[in-house]
Amino acid sequence: MGKLDRDLTLIFVAIWLYALGLGLFFQLLYPYALTLGASRFAIGVLNAITLAVMAASYIPGAWAAGHFRLKPTIVWIWWLLLPTSLSYLLAPSWVWLIPGLILFGLSYANNPALKAYIVLKSEPQRVARNMTLVFAAYPLGLIVAPTIGGQLAATYGMRTVFALSTLIFIASSVVVTLIKDTPYHAYESEWSFASLWSNRLFRRYLLFFLIAYLASYLAQPFLTPFLAQAHHQGYAALGVYASLAAVGAALIGPLMGRVTDLYGARNGAGGVLAFLLVGAFLLVVGHGPLAWGIAFFCYGAYDALRAVESGIVGRSFVAVPLAWGFAIFESIMGIPMAGASILGGLLYRQSYRLPFVVVAVLATSLLIGLAVWPRGWRRGRASRPAPTSTR
């Protein structure tokens, strides 16, 4: 784990186990929904429901982080993972996948507390590095899981996959309960949204990532359905390609986090977008396993974007408590995330390749914008007051 301390290492392991359980079925869930009667547009709707609930959960999650200690906030919400895969296992039709997707979205309510915990456990000059390194456990867990899940689904069916993922979620939840708490408690901190909005750097990050998240999530739910429907790939093959996307995320996230720490947010965010552009382009024009494999590897950037963004935006919160800063920022990001899924569903209904074409256009536009935008994305460590403790 390098220079990660004990608690960050435990979080790394818990996230890795969580990703292992999720990865068994995550990239296969929407192709599975198609077999349960879902339409192409319904895939976008299902993903939008998940992302909308996820975004809505951040604000109550931040409230919980302010009224309770960080550890219990993280741990209690983590256990919400358990009924998600059980819900999928019992679903008789695609509509019955929705309760599990809602629970999955609610499990992200601990995200503001988790990110605040990582920041407080990190030296200022290593915040982006540690953030991306800890969250790299997610794609690392996804490297082998989709391949295993695809083979199990092809041999024994998806219900066996959902049962196995439930056992792994239990192990992940047990590991995260072993972390130690921090002295951070934000309940008595005085702040206002106006003070956050008055920060020009915050507004600049907000504008950029609104468009970046739109580009990132527009085609994300259609990666495996695209190969299944346009190129007739089965569960086993889809699992392999999903594993390649996880390899890409596991490498791109920490790499761009390091670039962010050393060379600034502009270069780190631009690097993620460059990978996303290559992935979308290859899915549009590529033919055969080699092109699709490279495309999925590069498209792992959509996962890396969230980790890199988390290492960047915290520096703009200033006097706002970390948990609330992350919650507000990521709740706003829920607008392009959910909206992109609906828009992507409309585009995918018209043409299998159209969502990826739009992603390529958006990513190219953002890269051009980064090249010509006035210099103002801060380099180096963030400047913010020390967190307060009331316990």
Is residue 144 situated within a structural domain? yes
Is residue 378 situated within a structural domain? no
Determine the residue type at 27.
Q
Task: Report the half-sphere exposure of 372 (CA within 13 A, side-chain side).
Answer: 5
Q: Contacts from 151-154 at CB under 8 Å and sequence distance 24+?
A: 151/235, 151/236, 151/239, 152/24, 153/25, 153/28, 153/32, 153/235, 153/236, 153/239, 154/234, 154/235, 154/236
Mean pLDDT of 39-64: 83
Integer Cα distance of 60 and 56 in angstroms = 8
Identify the domain containing residue 56 by its residue range: 6-177+194-372
Is residue 189 situated within a structural domain? no
State the Cα angle at 31 between 277 and 238, rounded to 5°: 60
For the record, the structure tokens of 244 come out as: 């390649």
Q: Where residue 261 falls among pLDDT bands split at 50, 70, 90? A: confident
Share of the chain above pLDDT 90, in %: 12
pLDDT value at residue 319: 72
Cβ pair 205, 313 in contact under 8 A: yes
288 CB-contact burial (10 Å; exposed 0-12 / middle 13-18 / buried 19+): exposed
pLDDT value at residue 10: 92
Mean pLDDT of 357-385: 71
pLDDT value at residue 141: 80
Nearest to 214 by CA among 355, 373, 104: 355
Is residue 389 situated within a structural domain? no
Cα-flanking dihedrals φ and ψ of residue 228, to 5°? -70, -40
pLDDT value at residue 375: 60
pLDDT value at residue 390: 28
Nearest to 16 by CA among 114, 119, 133: 133
State the Cα angle at 35 between 34 and 37, rounded to 5°: 65
Is residue 198 situated within a structural domain? yes
114 has pLDDT over 80:
yes
* Region of poorest pLDDT, from 46-50, 95-99, 140-144: 140-144
Count of domains observed in the chain: 1
Mean pLDDT of 199-206: 84
Integer Cα distance of 287 and 214 in angstroms = 26
Is residue 184 situated within a structural domain? no
168 has pLDDT over 90:
yes
Mean pLDDT of 256-274: 83
124 has pLDDT over 70:
no
163-to-217, 298, 329 alpha-carbon distances in Å: 28, 31, 35
Model-level pTM greater than 0.75? no
Residue 333 belongs to domain with CATH number: 1.20.1250.20
Residue 30 Cα to chain centre, angstroms: 17
Is residue 235 situated within a structural domain? yes
277-to-360, 369, 371 alpha-carbon distances in Å: 5, 14, 15
Is residue 310 situated within a structural domain? yes
